[in-house]
Amino acid sequence: MKVLVADDDADLRELIGFTLTQAGYLVIKAQDGPTALRSFEQESADLVLLDVNMPGLSGFQVCEAIRARSRVPVMMLTVRGEEEDLVRALGLGADDYLNKPFSPRTLLARIKALLRRAGMENTAPLAAGRVTLDLEEHTVRIGSGEPVRLTKLELRLLQMLLANAGHAISSERLLVQVWGHRSGGDRQLLKQLVHRLRQKIETDPAAPVLLRTAAAGYKLVVE
């Protein structure tokens, strides 16, 4: 679980960092607005703590920019008494705010609450419809059947399809996502992988129900 901490006060930044690291979070720090935004992109943080007053871009601007492209939970750090800031922060899509000064305990409690609200506190196996994926065991279960072991590539493919369950994914995207930076021409690989995966998860591989061919790609059907 990655947390981005953006504050220009070095002491406070280190204090928050220490607290969160102790609690088991992975912490990324930023001392100003632009750095925060850049880090957010590069590191794809799961939660963001933003000080309102920062050089470069204010916490508000950063919050707005983040909201433009992500629904990641954002908590603003405000100065007590500045109610306008509070209203403005919530209006911009911040999920919570915390008045300075605050105790580490309070901070942790709020963060946990935020993650719980965002449904990110558990590492539940990916699932959609009758398909349940267990990333650790490298297995799928279809409905209430027996878990089936998957190879690395099969798992990746199914994971991709599951993440966009119900919608078609183009062959190109699948190639990139499953194999990495491969150029075209490798449709054969995808063909094979789909075939092998169907053998494992379809009751009748000749008449696929779950993993269907769609326009310009494949999709996972969920009822």
Please report, as ranges, the residues that interact with its own copies according to CB under 8 A.
Answer: 22, 34, 37-38, 41, 56-57, 61, 65, 68-70, 80, 83, 86-87, 90, 95-97, 99, 105, 109-110, 113-114, 117, 136-138, 149, 152, 167-168, 170, 172-173, 176, 214-216
CA distance 194 to 180: 17
Q: Which of its own copies, DNA, none does 169 bind, CB closer than 5 to 8 A by kind? A: none
Single residue of 80, 100, 117, 149 touching DNA by CB under 7 A = 149
Which segment (58-66, 78-86, 88-96, 186-194) binds DNA by CB under 7 A?
Answer: 186-194
191 near DNA, judged by CB under 7 A: yes
Quote the tokens at residue 77: 């750090």
Q: Quick check: 194 binds DNA (CB under 7 A)?
A: yes
Contact pick of 208, 210, 219, 220 for DNA (by CB under 7 A):
208
CB-nearer residue toward its own copies: 124 or 204: 124
Nearest CA to 175 out of 186, 159, 162, 161 is that of: 186
Window contacting DNA (CB under 7 A); options: 32-40, 41-49, 161-169, 191-199 = 191-199
CB 104, min distance to DNA, A: 18
Which of DNA, its own copies, none binds 119 (CB below 5-8 Å, type-dependent)? none
- Looking only at the bridges linking them, the beta strands covering 131-134 and 74-79 are unpaired
Quote the least distance from Cβ 114 to its own copies, whole Å: 7
Question: Taking Cα atoms as reference points, which of 14, 45, 13, 38 lies closest to residue 114?
Answer: 45
Which residues in 101-140 contact DNA (CB under 7 A)?
A: none
Q: Is 151 in the site for DNA (CB under 7 A)?
A: yes
Please compute Rg for the chain using Cα positions. 22
Site for DNA (CB under 7 A): which residue of 38, 71, 80, 187?
187
Q: Cα(216)–Cα(40) distance, rounded to whole angstroms?
A: 33
Burial class (CB in 10 A: 0-12, 13-18, 19+), 75: buried
> Which amino acid, 30?
A
DSSP string covering 29-86: EESSHHHHHHHHHHHT-SEEEEES--SSS-HHHHHHHHHTT----EEEEEETT-HHHH
Does residue 34 have a cis peptide bond before it, meaning omega lies within 30 degrees of 0?
no
Residues of the shown chain interacting with DNA in the complex, contacts defined by CB under 7 A: 149, 151-154, 171, 179, 186-189, 191-196, 198, 205-206, 208, 213, 216
